[in-house]
Amino acid sequence: MTEKDDELTAKRLCDKSKEAFLLAVELYNRPTIKYRVEGCAFFLCNAWELLLKAYLVTRYGGRSIYYENKPDRTLSLDECISRVFTNKTDPLRQNLERVIDLRNTSTHFVVEEFEGIYAPLLQACVENYDDKARALMGIEISDLIPENYLVLSVRRGTVDMEECRARYGSEVVNKMISLRSGILSSEDLENNRRYACSYVTELRMTKHKDADLTLRIDKGSDEPVALIKQLVNPEDKYPYRTKAVVDVVNKRLLKEGIKLSANGVEKARFTSSDFQLFIQVYDWKHDERYSINTSMEGEQARYAYSQQAIDDIVAIIRQEPDLVIDRLKAEVKKR
Per-position DSSP letters for 41-67, written without gaps between them: HHHHHHHHHHHHHHHHHHHH-GGGGB-
> Does 136 map to a domain?
yes
Do both 243 and 183 map to the same domain? Answer: no
With cut-offs at 50, 70 and 90, classify the pLDDT of residue 142: confident
> Does 222 map to a domain?
no
Distance between CA atoms of 153 and 150, rounded to whole angstroms?
Answer: 9
Distance between CA atoms of 172 and 317, rounded to whole angstroms?
Answer: 50
Percent helix, strand and coil across the chain, each to the nearest 5: 55, 5, 40
What is the arithmetic mean of pLDDT over 102-119? 67
Full residue range of the structural domain in which residue 327 is found:
234-334
With cut-offs at 50, 70 and 90, classify the pLDDT of residue 116: low
pLDDT at 214: 63
Do both 31 and 172 map to the same domain? Answer: yes
Please give the single-letter amino acid code of residue 26: E
With cut-offs at 50, 70 and 90, classify the pLDDT of residue 220: low
Do both 306 and 183 map to the same domain? Answer: no
Which has the closest alpha carbon to 118: 126, 286, 250, 257? Answer: 126
pLDDT at 188: 46
Do both 266 and 149 map to the same domain? Answer: no
Domain end call among 131, 160, 189: 189
What is the arithmetic mean of pLDDT over 195-219? 61
Helix H or strand E encompassing 304: strand 303-305
Domain end call among 189, 205, 223: 189
Low-confidence winner among 42-51, 125-134, 233-242 (lowest mean pLDDT): 233-242
Distance between CA atoms of 176 and 36, rounded to whole angstroms?
Answer: 18
Do both 14 and 88 map to the same domain? Answer: yes
Do both 182 and 305 map to the same domain? Answer: no
Residues in the chain, overall count: 335
What is the arithmetic mean of pLDDT over 254-262? 91
What is the arithmetic mean of pLDDT over 233-242? 76
> Does 224 map to a domain?
no
pLDDT of 161 strictly over 60: no
> Does 165 map to a domain?
yes
Burial class (CB in 10 A: 0-12, 13-18, 19+), 218: exposed
> Does 195 map to a domain?
no
Helix H or strand E encompassing 311: helix 307-319
> Does 251 map to a domain?
yes
> Does 238 map to a domain?
yes
What is the arithmetic mean of pLDDT over 125-154? 88
Do both 19 and 115 map to the same domain? Answer: yes
Do both 174 and 66 map to the same domain? Answer: yes
Domain end call among 153, 171, 189: 189
What would the pLDDT profile of 62-102 be if each residue is shown by its tens digit?
A: 999 999 888 889 999 999 999 999 999 899 999 999 899 88
Query: Using an 8 Å Cβ cutoff, are 229 and 223 in contact?
Result: no
With cut-offs at 50, 70 and 90, classify the pLDDT of residue 187: very low
Tell me the pLDDT of the chain averaged across its residues. 82
Burial class (CB in 10 A: 0-12, 13-18, 19+), 240: buried
What is the arithmetic mean of pLDDT over 264-288? 93
With cut-offs at 50, 70 and 90, classify the pLDDT of residue 211: low
Do both 323 and 185 map to the same domain? Answer: no
* pTM (predicted TM-score): 0.63
> Does 229 map to a domain?
no
pLDDT at 110: 55
pLDDT at 199: 57
Do both 33 and 143 map to the same domain? Answer: yes
Do both 162 and 267 map to the same domain? Answer: no
Do both 18 and 136 map to the same domain? Answer: yes
pLDDT of 106 strictly over 70: no
Domain count within the chain: 2
